[in-house]
Amino acid sequence: MANTTLALVNIFIMATQVLIWGLVVWAISSWLVAFNVVNSYNPLVRSILSTLDRIYEPLVRPIRRVMPDLGGLDLAPLALWLVLAGLQQLVPALAIDSGLLLQ
């Protein structure tokens, strides 16, 4: 049981790490488009941006509803990063504390 739980916790950590790195890429790509460094009319670039938007926009939308409007400064991706990083720490700790995972 401990090996299965360890594997599931490791998969969760890897998945959240991929989400965090994708979030960084999404944020940087939005800056590059905003400052006209990247041409969003290129079909490849447009498909990458569209894919990232489809993945991350539903994740930050509930955070944007709760957070106050700061004008042009969007802190929702930062809040999502904090949530994901917190879950990366919380889930293994809960698995250890519940006895599902041996240290």
The tens digit of pLDDT for each residue in 68-91 reads 888 878 899 999 999 999 999 999
Nearest one of 83, 81, 73, 63 to 21, comparing CA atoms? 81
Q: Residue 103: which pLDDT band, with cuts at 50, 70 and 90?
A: low
Residue-range domain boundaries for the chain: 20-72
pTM: 0.85
What pLDDT sits at residue 78? Answer: 94
CA distance linking residue 48 with residue 22, whole number of Å:
11
Q: What is the pLDDT of residues 19-56, one digit of tens each?
A: 999 999 999 999 899 898 998 899 999 999 999 999 99
Cβ–Cβ < 8 Å for 25, 31? no
Cβ partners under 8 Å of residue 63, min gap 6? 76, 79, 80, 83
